[in-house]
Structure 1
Amino acid sequence: MPHQTEIHFPADHPTAAGHFPGNPVIPGAVLLDTALTAIAAAEGLILGSCRLRAAKFLHPVRPGERMRVEWQAAPAGGIAFTGSVAGKPVMTGSVTS
């Protein structure tokens, strides 16, 4: 069974103003960093010792939205994770520790 957490990106998130004016999105690097920080904290991992194996961004996340992050041990080792907003997948990826 996967572990999960929710991450809220406030409507006034500081990255929203520049990405992109009139059509704000939370940058993929912020999504990834926030998700991996939450996973590391929950699993007792040190992010500096993790390696990103893959990351794919499937749909934009807007300021004011909540992203559900789910993760579990990957069959080949490491951790596989997904992010979704209102049930719609927004990112997938995996890390090794």
Structure 2
Amino acid sequence: MRETMMSKLTLRFPADHPTGAGHFPGNPIIPGALLLAEVLRCIERAEGASFVSCNVKNAKFLAPARPGDTVEIEHTRTAKGTIEFTCTVAGNKVLTGAVVANV
């Protein structure tokens, strides 16, 4: 099986997202755990799969995502069934990683 590029997905965090008030006042960012959870939900919908039980591998938070940002998600299913993803904001990588659903 060859690697197959999936569609590019878009995730937008509203400018008034509630995490902005406390994480961090005056310099709000989207918490990494929330960003990762929302990215996984987007990929689940696109794949028609469930990652309720999964392993996230090599997650790297490279830059902050902020309230008001639009996150572009590209994901690829590898020959081994792993889904590798890259998230960008305005062309800059903010998160990379891979997910494997537990069967």
Q: Which of 49, 56, 72 is 1:68 aligned to?
A: 72
| 1:4-57 residue CA offsets vs partner (Å, 9 max, x unmatched) | 111110011011111100100011111100000000111011121322122110
RMSD: 1.2
Q: Which runs of 5+ in 1 are unaligned?
A: none
Q: Which amino acid aligns with 1:28?
A: G
Identity of aligned residues (%): 51
Q: Which amino acid aligns with 1:17?
A: A
Matched, 1:26 2:30: yes
1:96 Cα deviation after fit = 0.7
1:75 Cα deviation after fit = 4.7
Q: Which runs of 5+ in 2 are unaligned?
A: none
Q: Which amino acid aligns with 1:8?
A: R
Q: What is the CA–CA distance in structure 2 between the aligned matches of 1:41 and 1:81, rounded to whole Å?
A: 14
1:74 Cα deviation after fit = 2.7
Q: What is the TM-score when the length of structure 2 is the normalising length?
A: 0.87
Q: What is the CA–CA distance in structure 2 between the aligned matches of 1:92 and 1:33, rounded to whole Å?
A: 13
Matched, 1:11 2:15: yes
Hey, which bits of structure 1, 4+ residues long, moved more than 4 A? none
Structure number, greater radius of gyration: 2
Q: What is the CA–CA distance in structure 2 between the aligned matches of 1:3 and 1:54, rounded to whole Å?
A: 21
Matched, 1:85 2:89: yes
Would you say how many aligned residue pairs link Structure 1 and Structure 2? 97
Q: Which amino acid aligns with 1:47?
A: F
